Amino acid sequence: MNRQRRLRKARQLPVPALATNVRSVLSQRLSLAGRHGSQFSGERDLYSVLGYPKDEPDILDYMARYTRQDIAGTIVDFPAEETWRDVPTVKDGEEKDANTDTPFETEWRKLSKRIKLWRNFEKADKLAGVGQYAILLFGVAGNIDLSTPLDRVASAESILYVRPYGEDNAEIDSIEDDTGNVRFGLPKTYRVSMGTNGQKAQRIVHASRVLHIAENALENDIYGRPRLQRVYNRLMDLEKVVGGSSEATWLLIRKGFALDLAPDAEMSEADATNLEEQLDEYSHGIRRFLKTRGLTPHDLGSDTVDPTGIVDVLMSLVAATTGIPKRILMGSERGELASTQDATSWAGRIARRRTVFAETTFVDEAIRRFLSWGALPAPTSGEWSTVWQPLFEMSEAEKAIVAVNWADAFERVTNATGQPVIGVQEFREMFTPLPALGAPDAAVVDAVAGVVRNSAGDYTQAEMRAMITAASRVLSRGE
């Protein structure tokens, strides 16, 4: 099945009310594909010259890139791995700092751990990035017919498993055409291929049993944008440059040698055949000498190909398009780690992805589905919130620099006002990994306070507090 026929099959959905619109979208996409690389009113076709596909790549093209091309796999996997590297906490209510343990929170933790929900969230995230969407199928006990709607379950224990499927194994079978249905225009059923590559069986699955995952969807909530779509041509360029330079280096690293036959020498056909066999053995490392009577060898030298400049330009374009800083995308550059600015920018991008995409599409939708099935008790406040772990963490060296800068600022303010800005205990807790100072005994504090008040010095209130605290701690430690 060629690519164009496959695209038509994936898009032509058996819903009469939407068939005309689907054909219109297909026609627009085919027309757009014809414009790719067109210049000078169609007189110049860059895509054909450069070897780029004119038709829009389909799921099989993207999957081939993802599974075989190194940087393509990183582009797809890295955002998902960074998003789900720390398991978030679901809280009962909108107060994210509340220290509660309600039945809703307890049952959610037990269910998500038992069916390995977070790990499958990450898998589905990756699959959705390869193609235009992915689904998460929830398996329920005692309910074999997957094509029927799922309304209720007996308990949380009835949810047995969750399985992720990519676009290539979960074709949309039908669309909801009831304008009075809240899911109007969204998938109604899927045709899911289950099993291993050698033994797959297709099952019709009702949409009430799955979560539909699509990132960067614009026109609708069904089809997102594959993460490799905008860099597809650059990935082909990287293959050409890296592969071509590797092949060129292989050919040029030892160009070979020329053999000059002496003017008075003669070579029979048998001698020529024998010499050719010697040269083949020499080229393949079997022979390390040649019989060259009457022949003068001339080494043609060697050369190397350095594609660094071109690769650097291509990687800069890939980084700019995907939003992954180049040093982070490549792991390191010239032995340097990613800069703080790159790390901060990337952390901000992942933080936004967590709240805008992961939280709403995965966590919230899963909780709503479980609540509607009766698998979870309702939250006491009627709402829930998701708390994510901080993404950006400073190194010990960076923390020390921050502490020094703050200490310098505090010293300047203290010198200018004559009053201490912060105490030792506060500074230790906020800016250092040092343990907290032990609290002084109340009797010691009272005794020191009496001495300070009865002294002849003219101290301000702030100075007296600082003296009392410092002296009390010293006496408490027995110094």
151-194 tens-digit pLDDT: 999 999 999 999 999 999 999 999 999 999 998 999 999 999 99
Q: Phi/psi of residue 185, each to 5°?
A: 85, -5
Question: Can you count the helices (H) and strands (E) in the chain?
Answer: 17, 12
At residue 15 the predicted structure's pLDDT band, cuts being 50, 70 and 90, is very low
pLDDT at 296: 81
Provide CB contacts within 8 A for 33, sequence distance 6+: 54, 55, 56
| pLDDT top residue among 449 and 128 | 128
Buried b / exposed e along 390-423 (16+ C-beta atoms within 10 A): ebeeeeeeeeeeeeeeeeeeeeeeeeeeeeeeee
Q: Which pLDDT value is given to residue 27?
A: 54
pLDDT digit string, tens, across residues 189-208: 999 999 877 778 899 999 99
pLDDT band at residue 144 using 50, 70 and 90 as cut-offs: confident
pLDDT category, 14, cuts 50, 70, 90? very low
Sheet holding 187-195: strands in order across? 170-175, 187-195, 200-206
Per-residue pLDDT tens over the stretch 323-351: 999 988 887 644 445 566 788 888 889 99
| Segment 359-373, tens digit of pLDDT | 999 999 999 999 999
| Interval 429-455 mean pLDDT | 63
Residues 28-70 have pLDDT tens digits of: 555 555 667 777 777 778 888 888 888 889 999 999 999 999 9
Grade residue 441 by pLDDT with cuts at 50, 70 and 90: low
103 is written with which tokens?
Answer: 């039945």
pLDDT band at 251 (very low <50, low <70, confident <90, very high): confident
Highest mean pLDDT among 143-152, 315-324, 446-455: 315-324
Span 363-401, pLDDT tens digits: 999 999 999 999 999 999 899 999 998 876 666 776 777
Residue 174 forms beta bridges with which residues?
A: 189
The pLDDT tens digits of the residues spanning 83-123 come to: 999 999 999 988 766 677 899 999 999 999 999 999 999 99
pLDDT of residue 22: 46
Give the contacts of 2 (CB within 8 A, at least 6 positions apart).
none
Instruction: Give CA torsion, residues 360, 365, 366, 369, to 10 deg.
Output: 160
Mean pLDDT over each residue of the chain, to the nearest integer: 82
- Top pLDDT among 57 and 477 is at 57
The yes-or-no verdict on residue 431 having pLDDT over 60 is yes
Structure tokens at 288: 């390390």
What per-residue confidence (pLDDT) applies to 204? Answer: 96
Check whether 354 has a pLDDT greater than 60.
Answer: yes
Q: Where are the beta strands (DSSP E) in 230-301?
A: 257-261, 295-299
Per-residue pLDDT at 453? 61
Q: How far apart are CA 98 and CA 89, in angstroms?
A: 12
